[in-house]
Amino acid sequence: MRPGPFPHAPRAALIPLACALSLAAGGAGAATCASPEAEMLLDWSGAGWKSGARSATLSAERRAGPEAGPADAVGLDLSGATTRIRPGYPEASSEFTGGRGAGTDSLALLMDFANNSEALTLRFDFPRAVEGLSFAIFDIDYLPYRTSRGRVTQRGFRDGVEITGWTAEGAPVTPQLSSPHIPPGARSASGASIYLGSPLTDRQAVGYERNAAPADDMGNLEVRFAEPVAALSVRYTNGLYPPSSNPQAQAIALSDLSYCAPLGAELSVSKSQRVISEDGAACASLPADDSPAPGAPGGAAIPGACIEYRIAVTNEGDAPARKIALSDRLDAALIFQAARATGFAGGTSAELVSHPAKGTRCAAGACTVALDGAELSAGASGALLIRAKVR
C-alpha cells in the first residue's frame, strides 16, 4: 500500500554513476561566491548550538581572507510543536551524516508528532540579505503503516518539509530543490527515499517508498536559493499525505548552511589643490585624460592665478559603486573656470557633472560643482577636476 497520490518510482531507472557524480558536484554543498572572501559557513560543529535548546544566536564564519573567522550572528528560533521534540533534541552531532563521511555534523531533529496537524518550524534570521544560501536536509524518508492479525505493528510516518526563503520586506522566495539520485525533471527514483514535484508545491518534499539510513544519502534534499534571502524557514511535519493519523517517531537533520556575504562598495575620497599658473593662462583648458597638468612649482595663489582642485574617489570594496554623488562649493574669493569628471562610468562628464558658467564669481555660494549618478567598478578610481582663478 502506498498512501498518497504518488506514482510508482521507476524501478529500472537507475542513474549512471557519471550522472550521479555530476549531480552531487552541483548540489548544495557550498555556495558559489564571487570571491573566496565572501564565502560564509554556519558550521554546526562550532556554531554555538546547545542540545535541547529552542532558540539561539549562532555564529557563521567567513572562510577566507584577512577577516576569516566568526563574522555573522544568525538567529534560530523553533516554533509550533516544540513539545513534541524528543529530549536532548535538536542536537548538533554526527548522528546523521547524509553519506558525507564520519564526523560530518548536522542539526538532528527527533519528533514524535501526536497527529497530522502538528508541525515544527525552524526560522533562521540573517543579519542582512544573503546570496546563494545553500544547505541539505538529511534522512527524509517514509515508513509504512502496518498491521498483523488486527494489531498495529508499525504506525509509520512520512517526513514532510516545506522550505521558504524570505526577503527583507517579508516576501516569500522559492528555493531550488533537488536530490543526488533524482534526475532533473523526474519526481523520484529507485535510489532515493524522497519525492519531489506534483502534487507537492515547489517548496515541498516528502519521504517516499523507503526508509533511509542516517549514514547514506538516499534521503538527502539539496536546497539552493537563486535569489537573496534575509530569512529562512523550514517546516517539518507528518501531515503531507501521511500513512497514519498517529505517526511514530521520525527524524531529519540539517547540514551546515553556506552563503555569500553581500559584496559591498567602499569609497575613499581625497581632495588636493595646486597652482597651475600664476598668470591664469589656459585655466579653462582641462587635460583630455586624468594626467596631471604641469603646474607651477612654487607658484603662489596670487590674484589672477589658476588653481586646480582634484577630488579623487576610489572604490576599495568588492562590488560596483553606483549612484555616486558628491559636491564642492568654491570659496568666495574665486572665479569659476571649468570642471570635468574622469575615470567614472555611468555617463559622460557632461551628463555627470553640473557646474556654474565660466567666469561666474563665487560670492554668496554661487559656485557649486556636483557629480551625480557616477559609477565605479570594484578597485576603480575616478576624479573630479575643478579649475578656478583667484580674484
List domains and CATH numbers for the chain: 17-260 (2.60.120.680), 267-390 (2.60.40)
Average pLDDT over residues 374-391: 93
Which pLDDT score is estimated for 29?
52
Which pLDDT score is estimated for 296?
54
Q: Which residue did the predictor score with more confidence, 146 or 297?
A: 146
Q: Residue 252: which pLDDT band, with cuts at 50, 70 and 90?
A: very high
Which pLDDT score is estimated for 193?
97
Closest by CA to 341, choosing from 331, 333, 332, 350, is 350
Extended strands (E) in 32-159 = 39-42, 55-62, 69-80, 91-93, 106-111, 119-138, 142-143, 146-148, 151-154, 157-158
Total-model pTM: 0.66
- Round the average pLDDT of the chain to a whole number and report it: 88
Q: Tell me the CA distances in angstroms from 230 to 190, 225, 235, 386, one per residue in order.
A: 36, 11, 17, 43
Tell me the C-alpha distance between 185 and 182, whole Å: 8
pLDDT at 192 over 90: yes
Which pLDDT score is estimated for 204?
98
For residue 145, how many other CB atoms are within 10 A of its CB? 20
Q: What is the pLDDT of residues 257-275, one digit of tens each?
A: 999 986 678 899 999 999 9
The full DSSP string for 51-88 is: TT-SEEEEEEEE-SSTT-EEEEEEEEEEEESGGGBPTT
Q: Residue 36: which pLDDT band, with cuts at 50, 70 and 90?
A: confident
Which pLDDT score is estimated for 68?
83
Average pLDDT over residues 155-179: 97
* Preceding omega of 90 cis (within 30 degrees of 0): yes
